[in-house]
Amino acid sequence: MRPNYGTSPGVPGPAGASFSPERTNFAVYSQPATGMELLLYSSDADDEPFQIVTLTAPEYRHFYFWHVAVAGLPAGTLYNWRVTQTDGAGFQQQQEVLDPFARSITTARWRRADWVAGMPLGLRGIVVPVADERGPAPRGLDGAIIYELHVGGFTRHPSSGVRQPGTFSGLTEKIPYLQDLGITHVQLLPVTAFDEQDVPETVAALGLKNFWGYSPIALASPHPGYTSYMDVAGRDVAGRDAAGQVDEFLGMVRAFHAAGIGVLLDVVLNHTAEGGAAGPSLNHKSLMPDTYYHQDEAGYRDYTGCGNTINTNHPLVTGMLTQTLRIWAEERHVDGFRFDLASVFLRGTDGAPLAEPPCPWAIEEALAGMPLIAEPWDAVGLYHVGNFPGHAWHEWNGRYRDALRRFLRGDAGLTGEIATCLAGSSDLYQASDRRPVHSINYLTCHDGFTLNDLVSYRDKHNEANGEDNRDGWEHNLSWNCGTEGETLDEATRRIRGQHARNAIALLLLSQGVPMLLAGDEVLRTQGGNNNAWCQDNPVSWFDWRLTETNGDMLNFVRQMIALRRRHPTLSRRHFLTGKPENGSTRPDVAWHGAEPGSDPWDSGSRFLAFTLAGCGDKEEDLHVLINMSERSESVPIPTVDGKRWHLAVDTGRDSPDDVVSRAAQTAWTAPHYVSQPRSVVVLEAR
């Protein structure tokens, strides 16, 4: 039998459970609550709490924070709140809820389909110690190469060979692979606790679940399913301390930092798993029913496509969101954040866009110096690529993605727009005194086709998702190279491989910050599924056998990353001007057509070349030929005083001659170079 722990009023903050061996302070905000109880549980197996602590006003409530200190409570204790609300007629309703600031949770007893208001919740917080050491200073994104991955999907496949598949520990084992690839930052799809059961009935009927994690239930807790302290069914592993979930996450971050790799988290601060009126009451609906979400006379406003929208510019809510981010930054040492559907941050409490929204500025101030990346749109058309508010915000550059996809598939008349994209999108960022680094350049991400599928499918094929192929993006801008889907035709497979290498080459030759989707370096396929959010199976998993099967593509990507990292001129701090700089006689960039003196901006052109000056006297110049037409071009090569050009890349050649390491390069002595159809060529001068 557990002892009856002594209690005292405690203090109203910080929110959540603040552990020390002497006492643990619990605090939760709820203005409409007329009563509050703290429920303490011994384990997930217990139906009833071993102790109920009743909080009374005013001693245990201050500024609508309900608070209590429990003496000597051991780490690992499970807990929830039970909130009482009283309506105008005096009717009382009680609801057990999860602490919104729980630093760790257990989900083993949670059954969404069985949820009934007023019944035990099934989700429980865990009291955990807080790491007291300081992490390293966050790494900025100058010179960064981001690799977006899913913690579960990266090592879940049997071929991964890790001891704990699908976990933070399993990901840690793959750090040497990421080091060898050459990336500087991982960007992890949501790792905060989310509801895997939050799927439509038709999806659940197929045995599928919420895999991507964009359904948060506790923003300060690691997802239990990604820890080795939970089995694949979400149950505590016998004999292991569930409070160690945070330690496992922190250990992963430390390992990445030791390897020189930064950790960015994809966070969902725009909606929650509570959904609309028909959704369950997990925490905010009962604690802050009139405050936390956008609502009007008709009910919950939905700007996310998920049933509810967080009222981010309400002062209390803004404070809550920034506090959860600081927990990950200060206690768990992550290096930055990517914000899902971040244009929600611009909506005032009435839902209308604000000219000066407080939320993004408050996040920027609370996390000064940390990389902040916005997905600058929401689900109903609020689009802010190029004008997301704040000084420090980077943006997923959707305009870059669309322009490059069109150019890669062969659309004509885009050379001017492509040059602007390759030069860092000054049309979007220069006027607001931002720099190329604020553009996160990408061609693929978790949401949409993989690179392999971008060159193999014209249309999405999402039938396996259980929504009659209605889900997913229609605007793919893809090219199947003449055949839909998988094929054994060698000619088609060759042009697809070349097309994929073109995409990687242009991405890594662009000013700004490149982002790669995990698995693109080995041509991972999802079978044409461009919305695999519910596919926790081989459709979404990284098949590690591909590192051998498609080793030629892996080598190309690795060598292209190495080329980018040895050329600071590809990651300039300021926009290109076309003029000499720092006393040089060469312009920082010169643009060329296929013929001497020809106009590279011709409306029908699909060819573009440029010469990029090295930064300083020691860095080699680059000359790049981009030919997306169906014909070869014999192109004159500019002369460089005292130097000779060396071939580094030609995607028109077969592997391994498509990319040449610096040590193996030979001088190119001819005055012309034949640019093959649909190819990218890179030469280095020395």
Which residues are known catalytic residues? 340, 375
SS3 505: helix
- Among 613, 595, 593, CA closest to 603: 593
- Residue reference for tokens 């995409």: 503
SS (H, E, C) 313-378: CCHHHHHHHHHHHHHHHHHCCCCEEEECCHHHHHECCCCCECCCCHHHHHHHHHCCCCCEEECCEC
Q: Which amino acid is at 672?
A: H
Angstrom distance (rounded) from CA 534 to CA 504:
27
Structure tokens at 544: 């590690």
Angstrom distance (rounded) from CA 584 to CA 454:
41
Q: Which residues lie across from 646 on neighbouring strands?
A: 667, 684
Angle of helix 358-366 relative to helix 315-326, nearest 10 degrees, comes to 30
- Residue reference for tokens 């500024």: 63
Angstrom distance (rounded) from CA 217 to CA 237:
22
Output the CA angle 270-210-222, nearest 5 degrees.
65
State which H helix or E strand residue 188 sits in: strand 185-188
Angstrom distance (rounded) from CA 636 to CA 673:
6
Quick check: 457 and 478 in contact, CB under 8 A? yes
Output the CA angle 365-346-475, nearest 5 degrees.
120
Quick check: 20 and 26 in contact, CB under 8 A? no
The long-range contacts involving 25-28, CB below 8 angstroms and separated by at least 24 positions, are 25/67, 25/68, 25/69, 26/67, 26/68, 26/69, 26/70, 26/79, 26/99, 27/65, 27/66, 27/67, 28/65, 28/66, 28/67, 28/81, 28/99, 28/100, 28/101, 28/287
What is the phi-psi region of residue 556: left when phi exceeds 0, alpha when psi lies from -120 to 50, beta otherwise?
A: alpha
Structure tokens at 187: 């960007």
Total residue length of the chain: 686
Quick check: 628 and 407 in contact, CB under 8 A? yes
- Residue reference for tokens 């914000």: 339
The long-range contacts involving 482-487, CB below 8 angstroms and separated by at least 24 positions, are 484/456, 484/457, 484/458, 484/459, 485/456, 485/457, 485/461, 485/527, 485/528, 486/456, 486/525, 486/527
- Among 94, 206, 211, CA closest to 152: 211
- Among 305, 505, 517, 312, CA closest to 396: 517
Quick check: 82 and 168 in contact, CB under 8 A? no
- Residue reference for tokens 């000056």: 613
Residue 231's CB: how many other CB atoms inside 10 A? 12
Quick check: 655 and 557 in contact, CB under 8 A? no
CA count, 13 A, side-chain hemisphere, 401? 24
**Max alpha carbon distance in the chain (Å)?**
91
